[in-house]
Amino acid sequence: MVAWQVQRPGPMSSKPLTQVHIERPEPASRELLVRVLRCGVCRTDLHVSEGDLPVHRADVIPGHEVVGEVLALGDDAGERFAIGDRVGIAWLRETCGVCNQCLRGAENLCPNSRYTGWDADGGYAEYATVPAAFALELPTGYSDSELAPLLCAGIIGYRSYVRAQLPAGGALGIYGFGGSAHITAQIAIADGAEVHVMTRDERARDLALELGATSVQGVYDRPPVPLNSAILFAPVGDLVPPALEALDRGGTLAIAGIYLSDIPSLDYHKHLFQERQILSVTSNTRADARNFLDFADHHPIRVTTPEYPLSEADRALTDLAAGRIAGAAVLVP
């Protein structure tokens, strides 16, 4: 099969990805083999490729927003899925199920968790495998390209929105407006929130207004009203102080990314006093995924998905790194 491997992690200009022809994988016990129909291009793939995240698997195939068709079932794969079903493969690939975190419903914090496209090969390929227990049933009414970004950008955005603890009808600030943010804004608006977007990209500002944002401004600009909550999607630690300054008393800043550059020194009275707080977001649980995909089944989400052929996966990541993608890009085998 055709696939892309991260063979030399580094800046996209150094061409860290290599296109290869390798044997098609076979499903292990309790796994599904899927034919990849679409794979979203996520910023986490960029962090894996550029070496922002440590190498967990040498020559890994990135990609964890996979819409696929089940081709084969491994032994003991269960009865949830049958050959021919359309399924989703997301970032969270496996957890131990027996640690304190798993037992209390926080499997996203499992110390033995494994991730698609980082610990195991992902969807920048023609075929992929997934543990059946972590494969996702997909909502109806969406194309394959529209579904792919929902499987990480949507799920992580949903968890970030929950972590931001926005009160009903409150004002939410969104810093950075890429794949996850443009979905999260729609979740918040559907929930009755007032959304204010801070981004440097003019196309992203236009998209935010089209989707119903109340205001858009530069990434370091102060929003027009005090924010009850904010979500930082841009992996830029320098944005933490201005985001905290924009919060009203008692406000929460949720940091959505798996990677963030260093945060500057904070002034306690200026940034944290009056019960402002910072909460990180770590992966997601399967319950998060089910809750979000159920939401998407009942609240149509507009997903902006420029498509790239699988043969140009490196160009897609290069465009993402350069800020040339509005919305969420998708690879088409």
Are 214 and 165 contained in the same domain? yes
Q: Is the pLDDT of residue 286 over 90?
A: yes
**What is the DSSP code string of 52-91?**
SSPPSSTT------EEEEEEEE-TT--SS--TT-EEEE-S
Are 257 and 322 contained in the same domain? no
Judged by DSSP in three states, 167 sits in coil
Judged by DSSP in three states, 179 sits in helix
* 8 Å CB contact between 116 and 44: no
* 8 Å CB contact between 146 and 44: no
Q: Is the pLDDT of residue 305 over 90?
A: no
Are 275 and 303 contained in the same domain? no
Residue 325's pLDDT band, with cuts at 50, 70 and 90, is confident
Are 8 and 140 contained in the same domain? yes
Are 85 and 65 contained in the same domain? yes
Are 85 and 36 contained in the same domain? yes
Q: What is the dihedral of CA 258, 260, 266, 270, to 10 degrees?
A: -70
Task: Give tens-digit pLDDT for 156-180.
Answer: 999 999 999 999 999 999 999 998 9
Are 271 and 302 contained in the same domain? no
Average pLDDT over residues 57-82: 97
Residue 66's pLDDT band, with cuts at 50, 70 and 90, is very high
Are 210 and 295 contained in the same domain? no
Count up the domains in the chain and report the number. 2
Query: 116: domain CATH number?
Result: 3.90.180.10
Average pLDDT over residues 73-97: 97
Q: Answer with the one of 259, 280, 301 that is the final residue of a domain.
A: 280
Neighbours of 45 (CB within 10 A): 29
Are 27 and 146 contained in the same domain? yes
Average pLDDT over residues 24-52: 97
φ/ψ region of 192 (left if φ > 0, alpha if ψ in -120 to 50, else beta) reads left
What number of residues does the chain have? 333
Question: How many angstroms separate the CA atoms of 99 and 244, rounded?
Answer: 34
Are 71 and 163 contained in the same domain? no
DSSP assignment letter at 263: P
CA nearest neighbour of 329 among 146, 201, 95: 146
Query: 188: domain CATH number?
Result: 3.40.50.720
Residue 327's pLDDT band, with cuts at 50, 70 and 90, is confident
Are 17 and 145 contained in the same domain? yes
Question: How many angstroms separate the CA atoms of 307 and 190, rounded?
Answer: 27
Are 200 and 214 contained in the same domain? yes
Domain extent, residue 169, equals 155-280
Q: Is the pLDDT of residue 124 over 90?
A: yes
Mean pLDDT for the chain overall: 97
pTM score of the predicted model: 0.94
CA nearest neighbour of 325 among 12, 7, 5, 2: 12
Chain centroid, CA 123 distance in Å: 14
Q: Answer with the one of 237, 261, 280 that is the final residue of a domain.
A: 280
Residue 231's pLDDT band, with cuts at 50, 70 and 90, is very high
